[in-house]
Each structure stands twice: as structure tokens, then as C-alpha cells.
Amino acid sequence: MENNKVKVVLGVIGADCHAVGNKILNYAFTSAGFEVVNLGVLVPQEEFVNAAIETDAKAILVASLYGHGEIDCRGLRERCRESGLGDILLYVGGNLVVGKTDFAEVHSKFIEMGYDRVYEPGILPDQVVIDLKNDLGL
């Protein structure tokens, strides 16, 4: 049974401790039928990658709320490639940069960094679940 579930890795990157959104995303993806490998807060890049390898996850959902997202998220795609995760789905969301910023800019910045989807602050989990199911052809 358990094994049929698609696994996703979830975590809050860097020195970021914002936990509330993480708990809600965990709940939402679990309710939607995924098996969530929740790394919680304060997660370094390598932990995301290792968890994805170990669990054979189909997507990594990276959250960054506290403003250092730009620095913390850079290079994760490369690290995935190097570790053989190749083009595993990478989603990122939260309050990604320091300060109130035009989202279009933020979006293209993170797309360039190699993320497949970039979410605005305040996005509700339902939408993310729909996107993920689409992207995974579920």
C-alpha cells in the first residue's frame, strides 16, 4: 500500500525556521495522497538531495520565507544533477527574497536557477497539489 504513494521531499531551506507553512504543506500533500518526506526547517541543500535519493522522491519542494532564499537556493539544481537526480521536479515557494518585490522578477530569477515552478507568497496548497499532479501526470 504505502509503496504505491508518490514521494515528495519537503523542507525549509537554509537558516530559516518558519515552521507553520511547512506543517500545513505537509498536511495538504499527505491528504492529497502523497508520501511526504518532511525535513522540517533549517535544511541544508545536501539534505534535500540526500533525502530525495534515499526515498526515490519524484519532487523536491523547497520553502524559503525569511529573505535569504536568493542565496540559499542557488545551486540546488546543479547539485541535483551532480547527484544523479537530474531533472527531478524542483518547486520553490515562500517569501523568496528580501523585501516586497515585484513577483515577475523573482519568478524569472528562480526559473533561471533551475526551479520548475516558483510560487508567490500566500499561494494556497490546493493549487500546488494540482500543479504537482499535472507535472507528474497523475
Partner 1 sequence: MELKNKKWTHDHFYGVREEIIKHWPTGADVNFEEAVKYHETIPARKHFAKRLVKAKKNGETLTQPRAGVALLDEHINLLNFLRTEGEADLLPTTIDSYTRQNQYENCANAIEESMKAGRSLLNGFPAVNHGVHGVRKLVESVDGPLQVRHGTPDARLLTEITLAGGFTSYEGGGISYNIPYAKSVSLEKTIYDWQYNDRLVGIYAEHGIEINREPFGPLTGTLVPPCISHAVAIIEGILAAEQGVKNITLGYGQCGNLFQDVAAIKALEQLAEEYLVKHGYNDCVLTTVFHQWMGGFPQDEAKAFAVISWGAAAAALAKATKVIVKTPHEALGIPTKEANAMGLRATKQLINMLADQPFPITAEVDIEVEMIKAETRCILDKVFELGNGDFASGSVRAFEAGVLDVPFAPSQYSLNKILPARDNNGAVRLFDVGNLPFTQDIIDFHKAKIDARAKEEGRKASFQMVIDDIYAISKGRLVGRPSK
What residues form the annotated binding site for adenosylcob(III)alamin?
Answer: 15-19, 95-99
* C-alpha to C-alpha distance for 98 and 81, rounded to whole angstroms: 28
Exposed, middle or buried, 135 (CB in 10 Å: 0-12/13-18/19+)? Answer: middle
Choice among 18, 68, 107, 135 that is catalytic: 18
Helices marked H in the chain: 20-31, 45-55, 69-73, 76-82, 103-112, 125-135
What angle, rounded to 10 degrees, do the helices at 20-31 and 125-135 form?
50
23 binds partner 1 (CB under 8 A): yes
Q: Spell out, one character per residue from 2 to 21, where the chain touches ligand B12: x when CB under 6 A holds, - when not.
A: -------------xxxxxxx
114 binds ligand B12 (CB under 6 A): no
* C-alpha to C-alpha distance for 68 and 51, rounded to whole angstroms: 22
> Of these partners, ligand B12, partner 1, none, which one is at the site of residue 2 (CB under 5 to 8 Å by kind)?
none
* C-alpha to C-alpha distance for 72 and 35, rounded to whole angstroms: 25
Q: How many residues bind ligand B12 (CB under 6 A)?
A: 28
Residue ranges in contact with partner 1 by CB under 8 A: 14-20, 22-24, 27, 40-42, 66-68, 70-71, 95, 97-101, 121-122
Residue ranges in contact with ligand B12 by CB under 6 A: 15-21, 24-25, 61-63, 65-67, 91-95, 98-99, 119, 121, 123-125, 128
